[in-house]
Amino acid sequence: MPDQGTWTIKRVLDWTCGYLERKGDEHPRLSAEWLLAAVTGLSRVELYTNFDRPLQPGELDEMHAAIERRAAGEPLQYVTGEMPFRHIVLRCERGVLIPRPETEILVDVALEGVDRAAAEGGARVLEVGTGTGCVALSIASERPGTLVTATDLSPRAVELANRNRDALGLEDVVDVVECDLAAGVDPELMGSFAVLVSNPPYIPTRVLAEEVPAEVRDFEPELALDGGADGLDVFRRLLDLAPVALAPGGTLAVELFEGALDAAADLVRARDGWETVEVREDLTHRPRVLVAVREG
């Protein structure tokens, strides 16, 4: 940003919007608001009621650095370091997948399974691939008394999920385990989970290479994105895990690539022990979540 004059909130907001627009940001005003809110500690609404407030030198330096990161294509959530998800706010950092709005539907489905089990006296939930912890922590915070075991293969994700959990005061009800799928979960818990929920890597390899925006492909971890040739590599392993992990009548809920849901449903129907299988749409009415319920 140029040095001349006093940089008020309005001036910074307008300059940032114009600069990011020239750099190709598809939503420059939104980006400018998010960055400035993170730097000043004001909400996006409060920015507009404090237009004349000058930024302090330290705030200007921080804003300049944030603008350059965003102009280089880095996702807003990594630049600001946080992401609202349902009723909670999570820390977000590079190396861990950014929560998406469509994943809120996955939480809704998991909560249905929790509620069915709670009607019979309590519920345990197993989440595979927790990332920031958005799903596990939403379930635990929205259904007090639910015990959640969350796993992730990435040490960075486990560390971040633990920090998010502690910040929300959910240490007593959410256990985060570093392992592949459920390899590190207490064997005595297997067979007791009312819900097995996962947002696994599910983008087909070709789609990831050719169609996914650079902002995602270049900054977010491939480990959390690439689902193999058809996007179902990890799903097949979850389908093997489900009969071992779930209690009778338990729910399997998995977010998947929109073009893979029919094939995933067929894989479930080809196996014994499932009472119902269905596909749920996301907020844009695209197929997004597979829901299957074990025979009771």
Task: Provide, for the chain, the percentages of residues in helix, strand and coil under a 3-state DSSP scheme, each rounded to the nearest 5.
Answer: 45, 20, 35
* Equal CATH topology for 9-73 and 95-294: no
70 three-state secondary structure: helix
Domain residue spans of the chain: 9-73, 95-294
What is the distance between the alpha carbons of residues 65 and 1, in angstroms, rounded to a whole number?
10
- Give tens-digit pLDDT for 57-66: 999 999 999 9
What residue type is assigned to position 192 of the chain? S
- Write down the pLDDT at residue 212: 84
- Write down the pLDDT at residue 252: 98
Residue 224 in tokens? 């959390």
- Write down the pLDDT at residue 218: 83
CATH class of 95-294: alpha beta
Q: What is the CATH number of domain 9-73?
A: 1.10.8.10
Give long-range contacts, CB 8 A cutoff, 24+ apart: 204-210: 204/228, 204/229, 204/230, 204/231, 204/257, 204/259, 204/260, 205/229, 207/231, 207/257
What is the distance between the alpha carbons of residues 109 and 105, in angstroms, rounded to a whole number?
6
pLDDT > 90: what percent of the chain?
A: 81
- Give tens-digit pLDDT for 166-197: 999 999 999 999 999 999 999 999 999 999 99
- Write down the pLDDT at residue 187: 97
- Residue where the block lists tokens 């040095």: 3
Q: Tell me the whole-structure pTM to 2 decimals.
A: 0.89
